[in-house]
Amino acid sequence: MFFDGIEVILQQAKAFSNQEASAILVGDAAATGSFFQGMGANTAFMTAELAGQFVKSKSYADFNQSMKATTDALIEDSRYLFDLFRN
């Protein structure tokens, strides 16, 4: 996607966790969205909350499902913001 000649990439990680490595992805590592309206900080806060829930439950499957839904919404919100500025 290009915005005023600047390439903008909205992306989502292919996997949000690796149980064998005891690792999870949060913040910009999980998804890259719009920088408008402080979205980078919002990504970190949104995914940190899910990380806290994961620490309590240790359910990789639940974490992956929640992260997918959260990052899908972030990317859609970012697309919407860019569409607003184009019109």
pLDDT in tens, the chain (87 residues): 565 666 666 778 888 899 999 988 887 778 777 665 555 666 777 788 888 889 889 899 999 999 899 888 888 887 777 776 565
Beta partners for 18? 23
Contact 32, 1 (CB under 8 A): no
Q: E-strand spans in 1-87?
A: 2-3, 6-7, 11-12, 17-18, 23-24, 31-32
- How far apart (Å, rounded) are the C-alpha atoms in residues 32 and 38? 12
pTM: 0.67
The pLDDT assigned to 42 comes to 66
The pLDDT assigned to 35 comes to 62
Contact 30, 45 (CB under 8 A): no
